[in-house]
Every structure is written in C-alpha cells, then in structure tokens.
Chains A and B, each alone.
Chain A
C-alpha cells in the first residue's frame, strides 16, 4: 500500500499570496497517477487535478499540479478568499487500495 504524506499540515497565508502544498509517496506512483481534491467545511470534496498536472473541468488556472515519482506539488498562484479549504492528494497508480494523504489545511493568516 502506498502511503501519502502531505505537508505542511496547516498553511497560514493571506489572500493574494502563493500556496505550495506537498504530497510525498512512500513509493513511486505509477504513471504519475495522482489527483488533488479541495474540501470546504460541510461540503463534499471537489476534484482539482488528475494525472499529477491536468486540471479538472472548470478549475481556475491559478491551480496547478506538478511532480512525478514520489514527490508531487499543488500550487495556488494567488489565493482567492474561496480557496481557503483543506486539500487532499490521492494516488490511483497502485491499486487497490486507493489511498489519500491526510490533508493540508490552507487557512487565512
């Protein structure tokens, strides 16, 4: 089973700043099959990125994913008020099981 470790646990930033979220896998993720999700309080998760770097439908271009192997990054170039949320990475290259990271909370500083 691939374990995904996200860092930092909490990121305190101001609107307009750049956010860099990390997701590290315990072993190489086949074909960069890694996705990112955003979850706001009381809501279901929303797909942001799949295949490490492909944005999902209707996701703004301030969100970008990168990485391969064991190290992946989600970057939000200029934080908007609606971007403050919890972000999860998920691997689907070595399944079952599908696994998620523990999440990174992006909070307003």
Chain B
C-alpha cells in the first residue's frame, strides 16, 4: 500500500543540524513531487518545503529559507530535509507528504506518520 515513513527526528541543541528522511513505498516515487509540513505542539499545520518529481524545482517557507534544504534520491525512493541553524521555534512534528502532481505545488494526498523534532538546550 501507499506508504511514507519518516525518520531522523530527535532532540537537538539550538544552532545544531539534523537531517530527516522519508522512505516511500507502494507507488512510483520518481513521478511525484513531495513536501515537508510541520506542526508545532498544539498548533496547526505549516508548510515547510517542496521539491518537484525530478528535484529541479524547490520552494521553501520564509521561516526556513536559507537554513533548510530539501533533496530526494529517486533511486532510493527517499526524500530528505537537511535542517541547519535550528531554533526553538523549529520544534514540531515533521510530516512528509506526496503531492498529487509532478512539478508544481498542489495538495497532498498521501502523508507519513511524522517524526518529532525538539530544539532545546
């Protein structure tokens, strides 16, 4: 079945880095664009980043621009989020999600269960 499984979350000190991964199965990974979305404790959903099916187009929320990078390895069916210069306000549950389309952001039709990131000293 369609599945996205995030990993790599944890507790990290402010200013440090962390890399999240998202392993996909059950669909042709290389045909779909992907997103990272986060949810701070008790808060709503915040879109973080987008990458097109071929990795050639990327978009970021202003709150993470210049600190986070998104990438994908279509040979490994895996999406990544490299987070640097982490701040307390980056504390959240991070979800990866499949976009319905290929090369522009649309809506998300498959979601992973998420991985928690806590930025604290």
Contact = CB atoms under 8 A, between A and B. Distances in A.
B106 A33 contact: yes
Interface stretch (B8-16, B24-32, B44-52, B70-78): B44-52
A35 B101 CA distance: 14
Interface stretch (A15-23, A75-83, A92-100): A92-100
A99 B35 CA distance: 13
Contacts of B104: 95
Nearest to B62: A97
B55 interface: no
Chain A contact-residue range equals: 20 to 34
Interface residues of B, number: 22
A37 to B, nearest CB: 8
A31 to B, nearest CB: 11
A45 B111 contact: yes
Contact of A46 (B44, B59, B111): B111
Nearest to A98: B47
Contacts, number: 60
Interface in B65-121: 95, 100, 104-109, 111-114
Interface in A49-94: 50, 56-57, 88, 90, 92
Contacts of B109: 47, 50, 56-57
B46 A96 contact: no
Given A44-B95, A88-B44, A88-B45, A97 B111 contact: no
B105 A92 contact: yes
Nearest to B110: A47
Most buried by B among A43, A56, A100: A100
A99 to B, nearest CB: 7
A2 B60 CA distance: 15
A19 B103 CA distance: 35
B45 A95 contact: no
Interface of B: 35, 44-47, 50, 59-62, 95, 100, 104-109, 111-114
Given A33-B107, A35-B107, A92-B106, 10 more contacts: A44-B113, A44-B114, A46-B111, A50-B109, A88-B44, A95-B104, A95-B105, A97-B47, A99-B47, A103-B44
